């Protein structure tokens, strides 16, 4: 029996692959992270003593780094248990609670027709690609060259050109033996009872093939060459192959980028085809785009299939902000524990293509690092355009925010959003007087100057405050009068020394951490040199020996004292590996977010200084509002650092401070 792709996808999505494989293996407790759907075991296909068999629920795939086997739910059952394919499908369908489809001659006929239509779309793609290289395509080639695209990028995305003709594609396909009904069913021509002779849908346009999740061409987007064209971008109409609201441009390639050796951490949704292509050329291969319309619920579900927290990237102009706010309302009802979205807002008047074309990926990476949470977007949207100088207006704000989050279906998430709103409102109303805020700012910062640093420097690194734990770390009880790194940086560095295997689990991200403390910068360079020399064979004892040989013995002892005094046992050698990993990930998340916020605060302070000098009161007012929001988030993160304290002690999986 032949099964439709839709049925196979449905039962795969309903059953975590770990449920299938977990019946035949024992998961390794140290390497497995069940909350993230990340599982490790000794491979069932070959004998081994250390776990190199990996499966991920998010991707629905398994792979053994020892023997090289890989596959999905069905492949596991057919290869390991010797089932035939229908038997494997039956077993997964039973686990999913889905009835097996009955033989359907009409459905099989539609599948055959769909396959033949995909063949026609492939012919059309090749035709457009060939036309781009002809004399007729010179103008299109020049446009793509002016947009900075290389020949390799054009070939990767199979860009083409539809000539300025009413029947060039139609005649080409007819000469290949494609019948009129197939050409019409693919949406390649405009036809109908009121149109005597059908004609090519795409004319004088740069062509962007749109692929299915299985990397088959199912539609096209066309960018007009003529400024007089009624539509700058034109998509294929809805067909048997293509339903616009269910498809994301570059989805298959972005999914592959996430699962590759350099797997990206998330999926980025941008606004257009050219944004996706420009980012790919700059080395950011995990970007997708809706097809010229606002993001739909189905497209958001596609993003969530790949990652728990996709990033939605919008242009920084008014239209981009309106689109971001629509996405806020779209996402809120569907939030679940561990499932949300973040928002990256570009500088006003810039799109991703602009940012990466001249300076590479660096400026875009900064935008991504400053991405806002969904709760921040809700708060910002409701407070940015109002004044709340009376009890009535404050009550109105509170009622509005409660109404906004009431649409969240998940009770636990809704409750936590309610708490977040109460915290924000308390902080906002207790210190929300903008004149007081500006006075405090001018007294503490001047115009972009440093605060609490004796006037040394004005960058975010120099002004960083590590919160409760950081203040404790700088006390004379701990430092003995010496300046230490902020505690968060000490946690990041010492955890890796005591548990070097963590470095190799996420090497690219961890090795790229930037430390503000100069001693730690040199210390970290020595750590990475040792890791490069030894690779995954690097042990704690070997790493400590190398660091001491490089002159960091005293710093190691100081860091250990600092960590133990603050009772951050997850960073010590006594911590269980799973506790060390969890504590490290918390510290890393706080570190990245705090640095991004501090940089944003620094930029806002500079803008405020300029606006004050120029007497631009409207800009001063707006900047102060945004600065308040950023400062509130910085303070919230500083307080959140206390969560790390005592994590390992509470878990019961580490020894006491003296190793007893």
pLDDT digits (tens, 9 = 90+) for 95-137: 989 888 876 666 656 666 666 898 999 999 999 999 999 999 9
- pLDDT at position 442 is 45
The verdict on residue 302 lying in a domain is yes
Report the run of H or E that residue 221 belongs to, with start and end: strand 217-224
- pLDDT at position 191 is 92
pLDDT at 289 over 90: yes
Same domain, 332 and 415: yes
The dihedral over CA atoms of 320, 323, 327, 330, expressed in degrees to the nearest 10, equals: 180
- pLDDT at position 430 is 66
Pick the range with the lowest mean pLDDT from 19-28, 387-396, 503-512: 503-512
pLDDT at 261 over 60: no
- pLDDT at position 447 is 37
Q: Which of 272, 131, 134, 162 has its CA nearest to residue 225?
A: 162
pLDDT band at 451 (very low <50, low <70, confident <90, very high): very low
Give the integer Cα–Cα distance in Å for 580 and 586: 10
Say how far residue 632 (Cα) sits from the centre of its chain. 24
pLDDT at 88 over 80: yes
The verdict on residue 322 lying in a domain is yes
The verdict on residue 439 lying in a domain is no
Give the integer Cα–Cα distance in Å for 118 and 257: 24
Pick the range with the lowest mean pLDDT from 302-306, 482-486, 495-499: 482-486
pLDDT at 642 over 70: no
- pLDDT at position 315 is 82
Same domain, 554 and 486: yes
Please give the residue range of the domain that contains residue 518.
448-651
pLDDT at 455 over 60: no
pLDDT at 449 over 50: no
pLDDT at 452 over 80: no
Same domain, 220 and 132: yes
For the chain, the average pLDDT equals 81
Q: What is the DSSP letter of 452?
A: S
The verdict on residue 582 lying in a domain is yes
pTM for the full model?
0.56
- pLDDT at position 474 is 40
Same domain, 21 and 141: no
The verdict on residue 440 lying in a domain is no
Same domain, 585 and 537: yes
Query: Mean of the pLDDT values across residues 583-605?
Result: 78
pLDDT at 498 over 80: yes
Same domain, 281 and 384: yes
Give CA angle at 114 (254, 79), nearest 5°: 60
- Domain limit, last residue, from 403, 432, 461: 432
pLDDT at 4 over 50: yes
Per-residue model confidence as pLDDT tens digits over 374-414: 999 999 888 876 778 888 988 999 999 999 999 999 999 99
- Answer for the pair 199, 170: CB distance below 8 angstroms, yes or no: yes
**At 374, which CATH number?**
3.40.1360.10
Same domain, 78 and 109: no
pLDDT band at 79 (very low <50, low <70, confident <90, very high): confident
The answer for 593, left when phi > 0, alpha when psi is -120 to 50, beta otherwise, is alpha
User: What are residue 162's DSSP bridge partners?
Assistant: 205
**At 147, which CATH number?**
3.90.980.10
pLDDT at 482 over 60: no
H-type alpha helices, 157-263: 168-175, 180-185, 251-259
The verdict on residue 657 lying in a domain is no
**At 61, which CATH number?**
3.90.580.10
- pLDDT at position 637 is 59
Same domain, 238 and 145: yes
Same domain, 208 and 114: yes
Q: Higher pLDDT residue, 88 or 507? A: 88
The verdict on residue 659 lying in a domain is no
Q: In angstroms, what CA-CA distances link 53 with 31, 50, 64?
A: 11, 9, 4
The verdict on residue 191 lying in a domain is yes
pLDDT band at 217 (very low <50, low <70, confident <90, very high): very high
- Domain limit, last residue, from 51, 78, 96: 96
Same domain, 137 and 28: no
Per-residue model confidence as pLDDT tens digits over 351-365: 888 889 877 888 899
pLDDT at 33 over 50: yes
Number of domains into which the chain is organized: 4
Same domain, 607 and 490: yes
pLDDT at 72 over 90: yes
- pLDDT at position 2 is 72
Same domain, 467 and 602: yes
- Domain limit, last residue, from 400, 432, 464: 432
Where is mean pLDDT largest: 43-52, 79-88, 395-404?
A: 395-404
| Residue 162, burial from CB neighbour count under 10 angstroms (0-12, 13-18, 19+) | buried
pLDDT band at 285 (very low <50, low <70, confident <90, very high): very high
């Amino acid at each position: 029996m032949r099964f439709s792709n839709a049925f196979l996808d449905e039962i795969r999505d309903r059953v975590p692959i770990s449920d299938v494989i977990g019946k035949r293996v024992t998961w390794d407790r140290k390497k497995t992270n069940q909350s993230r759907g990340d599982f490790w075991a000794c491979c069932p296909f070959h004998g081994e003593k250390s776990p190199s068999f990996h499966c991920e629920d998010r991707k629905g795939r398994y792979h053994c780094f020892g023997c090289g086997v890989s596959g999905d739910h069905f492949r596991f059952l057919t290869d390991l248990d010797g089932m035939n394919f229908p038997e494997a499908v039956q077993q997964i369908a039973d686990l999913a609670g889905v009835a097996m489809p009955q033989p359907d001659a009409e459905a099989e006929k539609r599948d055959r027709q769909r396959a033949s239509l995909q063949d026609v779309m492939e012919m059309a793609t090749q035709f457009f690609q060939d036309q781009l290289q002809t004399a007729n395509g010179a103008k299109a080639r020049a446009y793509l060259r002016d947009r900075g695209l290389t020949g390799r990028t054009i070939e990767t995305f199979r860009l083409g050109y539809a000539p300025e003709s009413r029947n060039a594609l139609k005649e080409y396909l007819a000469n290949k033996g494609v019948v009129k009904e197939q050409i019409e069913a693919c949406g390649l021509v405009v036809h109908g009872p009121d149109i005597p002779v059908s004609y090519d849908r795409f004319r004088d346009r740069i062509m962007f093939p749109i692929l299915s999740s299985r990397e088959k061409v199912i539609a096209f987007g066309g960018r007009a060459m003529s400024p007089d064209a009624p539509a700058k971008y034109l998509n294929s109409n809805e067909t048997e192959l293509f339903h616009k609201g269910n498809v994301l441009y570059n989805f298959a390639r972005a999914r592959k980028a996430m699962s590759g050796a350099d797997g990206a951490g998330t999926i980025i949704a941008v606004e257009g085809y050219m944004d996706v292509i420009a980012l790919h050329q700059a080395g950011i291969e995990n970007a997708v785009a809706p097809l010229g319309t606002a993001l739909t619920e189905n497209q958001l579900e596609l993003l969530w299939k790949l990652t728990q927290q996709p990033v939605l990237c919008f242009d920084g102009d008014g239209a981009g902000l309106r689109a971001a706010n629509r996405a806020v309302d779209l996402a809120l009802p569907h939030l679940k524990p561990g499932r949300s979205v973040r928002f990256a807002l570009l500088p006003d008047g810039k799109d991703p293509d602009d940012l990466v074309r001249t300076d590479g990926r660096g400026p875009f990476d900064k935008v991504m690092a400053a991405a806002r949470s969904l709760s921040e977007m809700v708060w910002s949207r409701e407070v940015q355009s109002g004044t709340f100088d009376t009890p009535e207006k404050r009550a109105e704000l509170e009622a509005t925010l409660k109404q906004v989050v009431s649409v969240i279906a998940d009770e636990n998430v809704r409750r936590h959003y309610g708490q977040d709103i109460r915290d924000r409102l308390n902080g906002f109303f207790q210190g929300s007087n903008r004149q007081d805020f500006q006075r405090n700012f001018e007294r503490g910062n001047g115009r972009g100057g440093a605060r609490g640093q004796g006037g040394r420097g004005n960058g975010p690194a120099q002004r960083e405050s590590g919160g409760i734990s950081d203040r404790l770390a700088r006390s004379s009880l701990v430092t003995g009068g010496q300046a230490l790194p902020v505690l968060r940086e000490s946690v990041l560095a010492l955890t890796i020394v005591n548990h070097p295997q963590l470095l190799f689990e996420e090497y690219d991200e961890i090795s790229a951490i930037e430390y503000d403390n100069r001693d730690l910068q040199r210390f970290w360079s020595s750590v990475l040199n040792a890791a490069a020399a030894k690779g995954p064979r690097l042990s704690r004892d070997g790493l400590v020996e190398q660091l001491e040989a490089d002159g960091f013995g005293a710093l190691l002892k100081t860091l250990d004292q600092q960590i133990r005094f603050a009772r951050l046992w997850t960073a010590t050698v006594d911590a269980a590996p799973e506790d060390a990993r969890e504590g490290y990930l918390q510290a890393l998340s706080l570190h990245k977010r705090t640095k991004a916020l501090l940089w944003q605060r620094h930029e806002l302070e500079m803008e405020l200084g300029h606006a004050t000098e120029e007497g631009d009161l409207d800009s001063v007012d707006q900047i102060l509002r945004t600065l308040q929001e950023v400062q509130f988030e910085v303070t919230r993160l500083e307080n959140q650092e206390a969560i790390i304290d005592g994590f390992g002690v509470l878990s019961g999986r580490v020894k006491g401070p003296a190793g007893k």
